[in-house]
Every structure is written in structure tokens, then in C-alpha cells.
Structure 1
Amino acid sequence: MTVTGIFTALVVGLIIGALARLVLPGKQPIPIWLTIVVGALGAVLGTLLAQNLGVAVTPGIDWIEIVLQIAIAAVGVALVSGLYGRRRRGIRH
């Protein structure tokens, strides 16, 4: 992965974090900055996975890579949401 690829994945991650949050049912008790971070990480991991599967570079729009990025980010947002919400509830006794 090149520097340009990493930068692109991070920028796309901002959007993917928001999309991941939209595809999850219910309200996620995490701040938007954490959603962005998880989305960026999901985008990078999705790009790496697409490269390993050999589907990162295709003619036209890389739909498989985008779907992988959103899926990984959605799982990440769900996990972080559960952990963050549990931690926050524990503090408010």
C-alpha cells in the first residue's frame, strides 16, 4: 500500500464511518470523532483485505473494495459502540 493509498483510504474512511453508522440499526452511543477513526481504520483494513483477495484494482469503480470497507467499518462501529456504551454506563452509577 502506497502513501497515496493510505491517504485515500483515510479520507474515504471519513465517509465510510458515517455510512457504517447509518447501516447499523439503532443509535450508537459513541461520539462522531470515534466513528470517523473507526471508519478510517475500516477503510484501511478493507483496502488491505481487497488487495490480499486480488480485487483492489478493477476496471471502473472498485465496488468489492468499497463493500469490504463499509462492512469492516460497520463491524468496528458496532464493537466500539458496545464497548464505549458499556464503559460510559459504568461511570454513571
Structure 2
Amino acid sequence: MISLNVIVTGTHASLWLCTKHDDNMISLNVFVTGTHASLWLCTKHDDNMISLNVFVTGTHASLWLCTKHDDNMISLNVFVTGTDKC
């Protein structure tokens, strides 16, 4: 259950990279498009309920980092966007 998909289109290249392994529930997704690059990175392992998400887009970078472990109820969330960081 592993898949890899890449697409490029238009005068501004768009890249879509998707890798999945359903046995371990691991996925990696990357997307880049337009003159301002957009990056989406998602890694998941459902057995341990761990996820990592990163998103960057536009002239002002946006970062989203999420790590979860539901057995121990641990979560880490980080979001940065715009000229003022949060």
C-alpha cells in the first residue's frame, strides 16, 4: 500500500508528492506551487498516534507543527505566520 504521485503543471510548476504505507499508517505529502512556494509535510503513525505537519506558503512563511501521542495524551502545536510570529 505504498504510492508515490508527482504532478507538474502550468507556467508556475506545481509539485505533489504523496507516499503512503498503510501497514504502519505513515504518509508523506509535499506540495509546491506558484511563484511563492508552498510546502506541506505530513507524517503519521496511527499505532502511536504521532503526526507531524509543516506548511509554508506566501511571502510570509506559515509553519504548523503538530505532534500527538494519544496513549499518553501528549500534544505539541506550533504555528508561525505573517510578520508577527505566534
Q: TM-score range by the shorter chain?
A: under 0.3
TM-score w.r.t. the length of structure 2 is: 0.25
TM-score w.r.t. the length of structure 1 is: 0.24
In proportion to residue count, which structure has more helix?
A: 1
In proportion to residue count, which structure has more strand?
A: 2
User: Which has the greater radius of gyration?
Assistant: 2
